[in-house]
Amino acid sequence: MKKLAVVLLVLAAVVLPIFANGDDEKAAAPASEKSYVQQVIEQAQKMTFEELAKKAIEESNGKKLYGVGNSSRGKSALPLFIAYLQGIDASYKLDFDWQQPKNNKIFDQLTANSLKSEGTFAVTLIQDGNQIESKMVQTGILDTFIPLEWAKANGTTAEAYTGYLPLQTLNKVFEYNCTGSKTYDNCWDFVLPGEHGQFMDIDSEIVGKNFLYMLTAPKYAAWLASAFEALSADEKAALQPTIDAVASDAKDLGLDANGKYSLAWIKLWVESYNAVSDDGPICNNLVQASATDQFGLLVYSKLRSVQESASVSKNNIKIAAYQDGYKGIGGYGYCHYMFVPDNSPLPWTACAFIAYITEFVDGFSAWGKDIGGYSSNPQLAADNEAKYNHSTGGDTAEGGPFPALNDRGYDWWVSAEGGQLVLEDPEYCASVAFTVGSWIEMLTKYSGK
């Protein structure tokens, strides 16, 4: 069905004139030219936010905006955006609805939406760079808008910038319950015999599979190899047979000399983790006093919602990478990207909304108020930290101090000397999705996942 949908999209682009609301201005150009939405974006990328805001007011006053995203927080950001526009024009009104599809259905939803001459969704926030590239961008379903001030803050221009527009990088980190005596001081500890971490199933949230793909990239394979060398002799002996067993697979897959360490870690992880439906339940379990010696790999920001009680505390867990002497990867990071559907009914408003949440602290606050989410706008990131003080927020939190809440920030997390966060690279993921991906599929088949 997906292949059929893509064929229909191509045919529609070639032979069907597309009209939105019967307006000739929005008639689709021939295939060799830009669509109406792409023309709007081309103009919008040269405008300041204030200029965009006026265009949005003109376009959407009295209408309804539909958004769809992997994050529910778009629903919290839109009222702030509307209030900002009302500060410019008190008569401005905009109704909205924000959907958050589960189980990776957002790609099917956007594909179906693209078959309409004028779509339902004005804007989308979406994750999983691998599928975005193959299913959304190459097929012409989604268009990238780069705000003028965002580009300037990143030392570039909209025309020079290549890639998608990331709203933020999120991190999933190794956390363990510390009510017992067990410690985890090396990323290989999580795959030693008898260990069973809690993790969202890789077929439920595909960014988890992208994490495994990325482990085979030379940079991260080297981190795994270095962490292995720091293990005790007994720990090495327990893991070496697996490393030796996958060495030939690493060569067959075209990986570098450290690729065997990547495949061994992936194999041990896939065969041992306990699949959980969502990161929320993982977090809620780990902070229980009764969850002694359990651990998980989960979204860092989930700790924000933990309510202290006699049996539950944020102090019942530790962030593995924050502990002195910890070796190896501390987790992985992936982006939420912003796009405008190529048949958006409100492209000016979509562009203004994207600019608002990527350029203003208040606009980003739906995400930026919590730890574990890092703006792609360096100036906004600095302003956001100045407002919320995430690096020391756990020290002063009510009921605290809570050391686990002291977020060391993006730069620390991604550094080799810090958290050694494994970052998703859409191009690399796409390049190994068939080779390494097929190898992982065999692991999941035989492990029952």
Q: Is 198 exposed, middle or buried (0-12, 13-18, 19+ CB in 10 A)?
A: buried
Q: What pLDDT, on the 0 to 100 scale, is given for residue 398?
A: 87
Q: What pLDDT, on the 0 to 100 scale, is given for residue 32?
A: 52
Dist. CA 420–CA 173, nearest whole Å: 10
* φ and ψ at residue 266, rounded to 5 degrees: -60, -50
CA distances from 211 to 34, 134, 273, 442 (A): 35, 18, 14, 17
Fold equal for 37-167+336-382 and 169-334+398-447: yes
pTM to 2 decimals? 0.88
Q: Is 207 exposed, middle or buried (0-12, 13-18, 19+ CB in 10 A)?
A: buried
Tokens for 401?
Answer: 């101090």
**DSSP SS3 for 332:** strand
CATH architecture of 37-167+336-382: 3-Layer(aba) Sandwich (3.40)
Q: What pLDDT, on the 0 to 100 scale, is given for residue 446?
A: 66
**Domain chopping of the chain, boundaries:** 37-167+336-382, 169-334+398-447
Q: What pLDDT, on the 0 to 100 scale, is given for residue 203?
A: 82
- Mean pLDDT, consecutive 10-residue stretches, the chain (449 aa), reads 39 37 41 86 98 98 97 96 98 97 90 97 95 92 98 96 95 97 96 97 89 98 98 98 98 97 98 94 97 97 94 97 98 97 98 98 96 97 97 92 97 97 94 95 75
* φ and ψ at residue 375, rounded to 5 degrees: -60, 145
Dist. CA 42–CA 144, nearest whole Å: 10
Q: What pLDDT, on the 0 to 100 scale, is given for residue 33?
A: 86
* φ and ψ at residue 331, rounded to 5 degrees: 155, -160
Topology annotation, domain 169-334+398-447: D-Maltodextrin-Binding Protein; domain 2 (3.40.190)
Instruction: Name 162's Cβ contacts closer than 8 Å, sequence gap at least 6.
Output: none
- Dihedral of CA atoms 50, 56, 62, 64 in degrees, nearest 10, equals -130
Using an 8 Å Cβ cutoff, are 143 and 41 in contact? Answer: yes
